[in-house]
């Protein structure tokens, strides 16, 4: 089975109404990453110093050595930056979510106490602030479990949310499979939460951000001044707020680090933005656990039978009649590179239509000839497929007068005699009058034109049938 795992569809063209509390037009999730004391350092049992997200230009790891400058920059985040940010958020009554590296939290008890006193959510940022990309899955699972244990020991309760950040291809699966988390955030793929399925477990995902994030003060291309950061946050806010006013409310994540945004010049940009956001009505500042609880209550997960996960037998059983009496199209479509994008009507229609279009002319002619005449003998004898019966009834072709039925039968016979296949039209797009008009017009076309037209109508009929079955 050839299956593609990445999901390019998500919520699709019509995302759900977030329905934020109080009719809020936007939900702003402020995340403060607490990593100071959990980064790469010989003191922490690592083989090298840290090199990620600091004000040291071109920083590189020092194997087997401590890096005094790097350590002192991280120290600034704990000693000064955190407290500046703590005062700002508590004064503005804005709750935040902490992404807390568990080993860092253990080394910063005063800051943890301040987080708890402020009512902030303390989520897990993994056991250590290190790269996980090459870590064996078994070791990463062990560290996840140890992080749960230590987090509860240090904070007093287990985390309900998780973001590793420097993750592996296994991180999302491993954290979801714990079945202990209300939300996970190691994705950057949407402006709204969504559900992901892992076996029998439904896991809520709240996507995070790497662009509305002060880490870009330490990466290229990035921000140089606090004003640049403010402007980017403002532009993002203005876009999302306008969408909310139009009835398409979204979530806006903002990622912060004590050692970065906690510096005075950068901090000024953040403060200016918060002042700006709070000057608007309908702005909700939730913790991520608040978003998770809201989404689970308002948008609980509804499992569907997904085409990309079906057996061949079930796939053909379910979709073999989408193209009239032509299950071979579904059989061939099953062997394509299907994925989450094909679990919708539009997606699966694309796969089935690809098979139809790439088939030989004789095969496509067979599909055309599988279609019944409109208001013909099969309809009169009630021998149409359930789909065709419903379609013809939608235009009242099952309730014709004797004269109308005679007209259709004459046109059917003349059309087949000229072109060699029945007249095909997507009945549900038409009325009895427009069908008759098209019949009378198209019968005069050349056969090649009609063949192409009929094939297009076959695809349209298939599309409408799929929309009855899939989102």
Which residues are known to be catalytic?
Answer: 371
What is the C-alpha to C-alpha distance for residues 21 and 291, in angstroms, rounded to an integer? 10
Q: Is the dihedral of CA 395, 399, 401, 403 positive or negative?
A: positive
What CA–CA distances, in Å, run from 349 to 3, 15, 254, 467? 16, 20, 38, 9
What is the C-alpha to C-alpha distance for residues 380 and 385, in angstroms, rounded to an integer? 13
- Per-residue DSSP letter, 214: G
What CA–CA distances, in Å, run from 31 to 185, 235, 288? 11, 19, 8
How far from the centroid of its chain's Cα atoms is residue 347's Cα? 15
Which among 149, 167, 146 is positioned nearest to 158, based on CA atoms? 149
SS3 of 300-327: the string is CCCCCCCHHHCCHHHHHHHHCCCCCCCH
Residue 121's SS3 state is strand
Residue written as token pair 């100071």: 36
What is the C-alpha to C-alpha distance for residues 208 and 254, in angstroms, rounded to an integer? 8
DSSP 18-80: ---GGG-SEEEEEEEEE-TTTBS-GGGT-SB---SSSSSTT----BTS--HHHHHHHHHIIII
Whether omega for the bond prior to residue 341 falls within 30 degrees of 0, making it cis, is no
Residue 308 neighbours by CB under 8 Å, 6+ apart: 3, 338, 339, 340, 342, 343
What is the C-alpha to C-alpha distance for residues 205 and 196, in angstroms, rounded to an integer? 7
């Amino acid at each position: 089975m050839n299956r593609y795992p990445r999901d390019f569809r998500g919520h699709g063209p019509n995302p759900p109404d977030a329905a934020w509390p109080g009719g809020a037009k936007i939900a702003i999730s402020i995340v403060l990453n607490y990593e100071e004391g959990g980064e790469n350092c010989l003191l922490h049992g690592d083989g090298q110093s840290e090199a990620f997200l600091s004000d040291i230009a071109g920083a590189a790891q020092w194997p087997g050595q401590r890096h005094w400058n790097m350590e002192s920059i991280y120290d600034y985040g704990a000693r000064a930056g955190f407290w500046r940010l703590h005062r700002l958020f508590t004064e503005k009554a804005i709750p935040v979510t902490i992404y807390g590296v568990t080993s860092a939290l253990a080394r910063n008890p005063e800051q943890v106490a301040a987080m708890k006193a402020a009512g902030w959510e303390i989520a897990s940022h993994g056991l250590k602030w290190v790269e996980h990309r090459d870590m064996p899955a078994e070791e990463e699972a062990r560290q996840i479990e140890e992080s749960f244990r230590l987090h509860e020991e240090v904070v007093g309760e287990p985390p309900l949310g998780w973001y590793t950040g420097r993750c592996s291809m296994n991180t999302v699966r491993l954290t979801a499979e714990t079945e202990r988390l209300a939300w996970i955030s190691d994705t950057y793929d949407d402006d709204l939460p969504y559900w992901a399925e892992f076996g029998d477990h439904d896991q809520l995902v709240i996507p995070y951000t790497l662009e509305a994030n002060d880490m870009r003060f330490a990466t290229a291309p990035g921000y140089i001044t606090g004003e640049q950061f403010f402007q980017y946050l403002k532009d993002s806010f203005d876009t999302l707020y306008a969408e909310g006013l139009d009835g398409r409310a979204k979530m806006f994540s903002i990622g912060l680090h004590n050692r970065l945004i906690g510096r005075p010049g950068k901090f000024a940009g953040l403060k200016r933005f918060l002042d700006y956001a709070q000057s608007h009505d309908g702005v909700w500042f939730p913790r991520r656990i608040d978003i998770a609880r809201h989404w689970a209550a308002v948008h609980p997960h509804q499992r569907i039978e997904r085409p990309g996960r079906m057996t061949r037998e079930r796939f053909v059983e379910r979709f073999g009649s989408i193209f009239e009496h032509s299950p071979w199209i579904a059989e061939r479509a099953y062997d394509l590179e299907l994925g989450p994008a094909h679990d919708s009507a539009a997606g699966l229609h694309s796969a089935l239509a690809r098979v139809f279009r790439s088939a030989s002319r004789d095969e496509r002619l067979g599909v055309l000839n599988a279609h019944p005449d409109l208001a013909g003998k099969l309809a009169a004898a009630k021998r149409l497929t359930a789909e065709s019966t419903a379609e013809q009834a939608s235009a009242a072709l099952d309730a014709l007068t004797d004269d109308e039925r005679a007209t259709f039968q004459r046109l059917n016979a003349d059309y087949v005699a000229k072109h060699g296949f029945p007249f095909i039209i997507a009945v549900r797009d038409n009325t009895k009058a427009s069908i008759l008009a098209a019949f009378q017009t198209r019968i005069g076309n050349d056969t090649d034109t009609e063949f192409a037209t009929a094939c297009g109508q076959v695809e349209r009929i298939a599309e409408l049938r799929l929309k009855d079955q899939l989102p």
